[in-house]
Structure formats: C-alpha cells, structure tokens
Amino acid sequence: MQLADIKRVLILGAGTMGQQIGLQCAMHGYEVVYYDLSREILDKAGKSMTKLASWYASTGRLTEEQLQQTLSRISMTPDPAEAAREVDLISESVPEDPVIKGKILAQFNKLCPERTIFTTNTSLLLPSMFAQASGRPEKLCALHFHDLRSNNVVDVMPHPGTAPEVTQLVQDFARSIGQIVILLQKENSGYVFNTMLSSLFLSALTLASKNVASIEDIDRAWMGVTGMSIGPFGIMDQVGLSTVWDITDYWAKKKGDRQAQANADFLKQYVDKGMLGYKTMQGFYSYPNPAYSKKDFLYAESEKGD
C-alpha cells in the first residue's frame, strides 16, 4: 500500500487523544470514523471535538470554510462492523492497558480489510506487548502523538515484527498530517521526548523532595540557564500532577526504587489536596498567572522552605 491509498482512518477510542488525532486527520483531508463503547460517549466526544475545531478556527489554524469541510469528513459509530468498513489505517487510543489494546485490535483484525495498517498511541507500553494479540503483528506500529493543540511531534516506533514498509508508510502518513517524525530504531518505553522529560522530572522531584532547593529555585535554575519560559515544575503543572504521580508511582513500585517512591509521595500530597496543576488552576503554582510567568521571577528571592 502507498500513502495515496490511505483515504479512510478509524479512530479507536474517542477520548482526549482520539479527538485530537481524528480532527488532525480530517483537517488534512482524510475521511475519519470514530468508534467507542457507546453512542452517548461518542455524542459527548463529538461535542468536545467540534469545540476544539472551533477553537482552531478562532486562532486562525482553520478558516471557516475549512472548519465546515473538516467536520463533514468525520463520522461516529458504536457499531464495530460499520466502523471497520473500508478502513485503511487505524489509530488506537483506548486506555493504557495491554490487555484492552490487544482485545480491541484482535476484534478489528477480524473486521477490517486485510490491507489495514494498525497504529497505537500507547504512552508507555511497547507494541510487542500486544502485537501477537492484534492478529497482524507485521502491520502494527506505534504512532505516538503529543498534545496536538500545542505541538506537532510524533514518535514512530516499530516492534521487531513490524514490516519495514509499514514503518515507512506510517512515517509518510504522519508527515501528511503535518507532523515532525521522530523514528525509533528500537522499542523504548516512553519514546524519545518523554524519556528525556521523565529524567528531568525525576531530577527536579529528587531535588525538591530532599529539600535541596525550593520548587521556584529549581525552575529558576532551568529557566535562567536554558532561557526557556517554563521550568520542570511548571511543565508538571501543565501535564497534570495526577498523571505525573501515576507514572512516578508505577515505576517506583515496579523498580522498588526508594528515591522514586519519595518523589511519588511528594507529588501525592498535592494530588490528595486536589491540586492537580493547570486543570484545577492550582498545583505547584497558582493559575491563571503563575509566578514563573511574571517578569521579575528570575530575580525574585525564593521563599524559604522548612
């Protein structure tokens, strides 16, 4: 199959990521069909995706005409057979569980045409964990998106059984929807950017949980030297502290790492208070005007911890 043969894309899971990915495909001329567990979930997803598309239009990313054309390319169905009809490529964004991912891909393996390429948007799992379960390992490859509202970087990660032409086609497809492609030459949990980011989070959390420096000073160090407008704790607030805690706690327990567990416990204090970062307007910083965005932040004196 060539890129020009890809016309219809099926999005499995119409949650946060599925909505963004499907919209991105439709914006670039692909016919998009969504599948999720019920009509109610799909209706809700449709509303929030339309809101996202309108926001893109309000920021000039889409004209009014493109907005209408984009939305007209999108359909939704809770009927798996209807969803699978004439599909050329699947983008899977169901919950982060290898059993759920394996099951749904196996179900669609039976329903989709033989040519259909399967991609997964898993965050930390490896495609090889559910490649056999999918029923078409040679056509399965990870195509991992970051937050499409703010960036356009994707990881393309084959597993050892992915056919090389499939890896190539998935890269071509990603570029056709405006993405910068990072190709992984071997499987790696966390891909490229997220692997680097988690090391940054780990170092920042270790410094804070050991009381070496304040949260503000740790961010100040990063921002002052790199010239960036946000530091690691500001970024954690943007990602969401419950997500960062989930991942930190999972790996701390899995590896039996004491410092990582202390970092997770440090985060948990915020999560337990409902301080989840930007989405609750309170995390390490208070929003909408966090201290790090103020003009004199770099030169201000840090508040002393206890």
Q: Which is nearer to ligand NAD, 121 or 134 (CB)?
A: 121
Residue in 57, 49, 63, 62 with CA at minimum distance from that of residue 21: 49
Nearest 10 degrees: CA dihedral of 175, 197, 293, 262? 150
Nearest distance in Å: CB 265, ligand NAD: 23
User: Smallest distance from the beta carbon of 165 to ligand NAD, in angstroms?
Assistant: 25
Closer Cβ to ligand NAD, 5 or 147, answer by number: 147
- Does residue number 48 form part of the binding site for ligand NAD (CB under 6 A)? no
Q: Which of residues 137-176 bind ligand NAD (CB under 6 A)?
A: 145
Residues in the chain: 306
Token couple for 147: 């937050």
**Region from 117-125, 175-183, 261-269, 282-290 binding ligand NAD, contact rule CB under 6 A:** 117-125
List Cα–Cα distances, 28 to 7, 58, 83, 180, 198, in angstroms: 11, 18, 20, 15, 32
Other C-beta atoms lying within 10 Å of the C-beta of residue 94: 22
Min dist. Cβ of residue 120 to ligand NAD (A): 7
The distance of closest approach from Cβ of residue 236 to ligand NAD in the complex, given in angstroms and rounded to an integer, is 13
Considering only 5, 7, 29, 37, the residue that binds ligand NAD (CB under 6 A) is 37
Contact 142, 130 (CB under 8 A): no
Of 119-127, 154-162, 221-229, 274-282, the segment contacting ligand NAD by CB under 6 A is 119-127
We find the least distance from the C-beta atom of residue 115 to ligand NAD, in angstroms, to be 22
At its nearest, how many Å lie between ligand NAD and the CB of residue 227?
Answer: 26
- Taking the least distance from each CB to ligand NAD, the nearer of 3 and 279 is 279
Compute CA distances 2 → 7, 113, 161, 169, 284, whole Å.
11, 15, 20, 7, 48
135 CB-near residues (< 8 Å, 6+ apart) = 105, 106, 109, 110
Kindly tell me which of 119 and 171 has the beta carbon lying closer to ligand NAD: 119
Of these, 5, 7, 16, 305, which contacts ligand NAD (CB under 6 A)?
A: 16
Task: Tell me the site size for ligand NAD, rule CB under 6 A.
Answer: 21
Given candidates 53, 84, 90, 104, which one binds ligand NAD under the rule CB under 6 A? 104
36 interacts with ligand NAD by CB under 6 A: yes
Residue number, 122 or 248, with CB nearest to ligand NAD: 122
Q: Which of residues 258-277 bind ligand NAD (CB under 6 A)?
A: none
Residue 12 in the binding site for ligand NAD (CB under 6 A): yes
Instruction: For ligand NAD, give the closer residue by CB, 154 or 223.
Output: 154
Q: Per CB under 6 A, which of residues 83..102 are in contact with ligand NAD?
A: 93-96, 100
Options 36-44, 180-188, 206-214, 283-291: segment touching ligand NAD (CB under 6 A)? 36-44
Sites of contact with ligand NAD (CB under 6 A): 12-18, 35-37, 41, 93-96, 100, 104, 121-123, 145
